[in-house]
Structure 1
Amino acid sequence: MAGPYIRKARMQDVKAIHKLLMECSGQGLLLPRPLNQLYGHLREFFVVDPDDGSPIVGCCGLAIAWDNLAEVRSLAVDERMRGAGFGRKLVDACLSEAVTLGIYKVFTLTYQDNFFRKMGFVEVTKDTLPQKVWADCINCPKFPECDEIAMQIEL
């Protein structure tokens, strides 16, 4: 066993991803996502596999939003694993996939702006992301009073 590593999510990870997102949502770190939505978006996710047979301990998704725009979303790391660099590795995996897909502008809506700032993201106004607002945000319980911070990086 080599220890935790980053890999693409698999079907058997969905319930663990949901559990992790719900725990982090309960801590006010991100917004929750319904389990049924995760099944349909499984291919967006990278996970941290502990490599010991136990459930995943981190996740992050890259969602294509528009022609040359993608979103890093649902970044969550188990409380016991925070500070070990897995959040950065998950976001790096998403950014690498964006470049592979030919997408060079990536945004996030976050409460963790300092983390993303350290990774090179800069704060932008939400009105620069109109496709996002109408695609996902319209269904959010906080819409239109969003309190997340919009941030973007150009790769």
Structure 2
Amino acid sequence: MEIRKATSTDVEEMQQLIQQFADIGLMLPRTIKSLCEHLQCFTVAVEDGKVIGVAGLHVLWTDLAEIRSLAVAPEAHGRGVGRQMVTALLQEAEHLGIAQVLSLTYQTGFFEKLDFHIVRKESLPHKVWKDCIYCNKFYHCDEVAMVYYTSHHQVLRPAREA
């Protein structure tokens, strides 16, 4: 399996993979147009020439980026594909000097294992007022906001539970 930046030839498979999970309400759908416009933000996992995972790092502000559209093909679940893609995106955020990386997710256990911490959505105004305000789930959002603090973060990090 290879983790790499997405290319234009990956877009159709990326969209199909994301749509599988959007169809059951686990993530927001992404159009081909949206994926093309933000292609440089996406990383894919490829195995035997097939996209088996996709995830994007979208910069929201000088100190905040978001992991978006994280999807792993059902046949690849449990093999560390998601973890490897998120790790690659966190390294990218570090390289860009981003202090915090957020995820709005239903998969809190997965992100906790990667050292993300639950935060109040209201503590992320650049996300809420840039993107969330336009979401059809805005008034009844049930996703959990989680943040990873990179080495560029200047505030004390929450203590880890033993």
User: Normalising by the residue count of structure 1, what TM-score does the alignment of the two structures yield?
Assistant: 0.93
Q: Does 1:58 align with 2:57?
A: no
Query: Where in structure 2 are the equivalents of 1:15-94 lying within 5 Å?
Result: 15-50=12-47, 52-53=48-49, 55-94=50-89
Q: Distance in 2 between matches of 1:106 and 1:74?
A: 14
Could you tell me how far 1:29 is from its partner in structure 2? 2.7
Could you tell me how far 1:28 is from its partner in structure 2? 3.4
* Alpha carbons 1:29, 1:112 under 8 Å: kept: no
Q: Distance in 2 between matches of 1:149 and 1:56?
A: 27
Q: Which amino acid aligns with 2:9?
A: Q
Query: Structure 1 residue runs of 4+, over 2 Å off?
Result: 26-29
Q: Aligned match of 1:98 in 78, 93, 100?
A: 93
Q: String of CA shifts for 1:98-150, please: whole Å, max 9, x gaps.
A: 00001121111011111001111010000011111121112211112211100
Q: Does 1:134 align with 2:125?
A: no
Q: Aligned match of 2:138 in 138, 143, 146?
A: 143
Q: Does 1:107 align with 2:102?
A: yes
Q: Distance in 1 between matches of 2:132 and 2:15?
A: 19
Q: Distance in 1 between matches of 2:26 and 2:114?
A: 18
Q: Which amino acid aligns with 1:140?
A: C
Report how many aligned residue pairs link the two structures.
150
Q: Distance in 2 between matches of 1:101 and 1:150?
A: 22
3-state DSSP class of the match of 2:140? coil
Q: Distance in 1 between matches of 2:41 and 2:56?
A: 5
User: Normalising by the residue count of structure 2, what TM-score does the alignment of the two structures yield?
Assistant: 0.89
